[in-house]
Structure 1
């Protein structure tokens, strides 16, 4: 994508065109938000394929390997924007710690509001003189609505869960600064001034993963990026991520992805070429 912003309305007619010319897995140089209102499309991201049950919002961060295959009933929106167009959102932050970022709707009128914002962006984007400032404000409103929707369930619960969410986000910030080190769960618990048990409870409650699983996921997401985007050897990548032995890094990577680092690099390079 050469421009800084694009928006596409997904319709059954467009879905039938895609069915005749399905896209291949590819990497983005932009952020993408896919709003699925109807249908059961398939989505492939970072080597996992799933069938989507709407209504659902899919966030695809820049650099992720991704393929979207709509069925003939798919309706919704695809919004694409470059980092320079709008500051990185919380979606981008969370994408470093999870293989996919999907948001379901907790409130009934959310889809209606998202459709309204998307229609206004599309109308402005069709103008001969596009007001990108207006589009940016509308997109920020859409992102804010999605983030609000993601937090909605915490407001329905006790105040302690709001505190948990704050603690969880603080943990992720600490992890982002330290995930390449060889530190274990105790290191992060100490940094948070809490017990390992309490930090694990928070991570399970908010992200449905243990601390060690989140740390490992962050390392493996970085490993895949390094395998695809650099010429570093397997040993160098493992060492970069705190695995002092190539054999141990290979075992962890293979267990998580089903491929050795070398096979992953070869297969993904062939797929993207």
Structure 2
């Protein structure tokens, strides 16, 4: 099986443990020459300042240029055009860095652009770009002169960036349909449960039972919140994972079917073709990097 390179956070880069950093894209491109397809074990907000090209997050492909931001959560599969995207800033941090500051353990998941696998990973900045770059540079300056007592300054600056981008993201996407509008507790919890248990549990009833509501009521909630059925949310997650495994591993179709809890490989193939219009093998042969 092909193993995707995973990068862990360099926690002691500045001596004392520090779980936030700012790096320039032009300085890290050389490390991606051999491991172009990779995962990060931490959160990443990449702001493009020069160049243009493709940026992939899982199976989603975006065309980015100066002023665009790409968001990625831990363990998402990434690839970007290191030859044509020439520079930018990557603001990286671990969840733990904020958890010691906030009482809300789900703060990051409540941000529109980090809402699980359903989020749209790209945001195009306009006049706001200069403001965000200024805040990123303030973080970099604080890090360069880092002292233990300055962590609260860094957290405050990071919080300002996260909330500012959340506000811009919601305003930008509210009319285009990319933003998440999951406004009630049951719908939010359902999405989290699916993200955790989709491989083992494909049935709506399983999740409805977890929420102590009926399958029909769950379906009504999800349709109202997301515009698609609860079943389609589960199926979308399964297809998303199947596509990642087809593109980034050498696992056989039967092994992929088994890992997604399909006892019958033929049923998995029919399901995949119904959802995508292609068999798994056709999809792999056509799209594999």
1:148 is matched with 167
Once the two structures are superposed, residues 120-145 of structure 1 have per-residue CA deviations (whole angstroms, 9 ceiling, x without a partner) of 10101111536333222221221122
CA separation of 1:192/1:120 partners in 2, compared to 1, >3 Å: closer, same or farther? farther
2:23 is matched with 8
CA separation of 1:134/1:241 partners in 2, compared to 1, >3 Å: closer, same or farther? same
CA contact (8 A) 2:115 2:180 kept: no
CA separation of 1:234/1:123 partners in 2, compared to 1, >3 Å: closer, same or farther? same
CA contact (8 A) 2:116 2:195 kept: no
1:34 is matched with 46
Deviation at 1:7, TM superposition (A): 0.7
Deviation at 1:166, TM superposition (A): 0.3
CA contact (8 A) 1:35 1:76 kept: yes
CA separation of 1:80/1:164 partners in 2, compared to 1, >3 Å: closer, same or farther? closer
2:217 is matched with 193
The question of 1:135 aligning with 2:158 is answered: no
Q: Which of 260, 266, 269 is equivalent to 1:247?
A: 266
- Taking the aligned partners of 1:5 and 1:190, their CA distance within structure 2 comes to 43
Once the two structures are superposed, residues 119-174 of structure 1 have per-residue CA deviations (whole angstroms, 9 ceiling, x without a partner) of 11010111153633322222122112222223336889xxxxx9954045354245
Matched residue pairs, number? 248
1:181 is matched with 201
2:233 is matched with 214
- Taking the aligned partners of 2:180 and 2:47, their CA distance within structure 1 comes to 30
- Taking the aligned partners of 1:47 and 1:257, their CA distance within structure 2 comes to 16
**TM-score, length-normalised on structure 1?**
0.65
- Taking the aligned partners of 1:96 and 1:184, their CA distance within structure 2 comes to 18
- Taking the aligned partners of 1:44 and 1:215, their CA distance within structure 2 comes to 22
**TM-score, length-normalised on structure 2?**
0.63
Deviation at 1:79, TM superposition (A): 1.3
1:166 is matched with 183
The question of 1:76 aligning with 2:97 is answered: no
1:203 is matched with 226
- Taking the aligned partners of 1:64 and 1:163, their CA distance within structure 2 comes to 19
CA contact (8 A) 1:38 1:74 kept: yes
- Taking the aligned partners of 1:201 and 1:128, their CA distance within structure 2 comes to 47
Q: Which of 21, 37, 40 is equivalent to 1:25?
A: 37
Deviation at 1:176, TM superposition (A): 4.2
- Taking the aligned partners of 1:115 and 1:191, their CA distance within structure 2 comes to 46
Gaps of 5+ in 2: 1-8, 12-18, 100-105
Gaps of 5+ in 1: 157-161
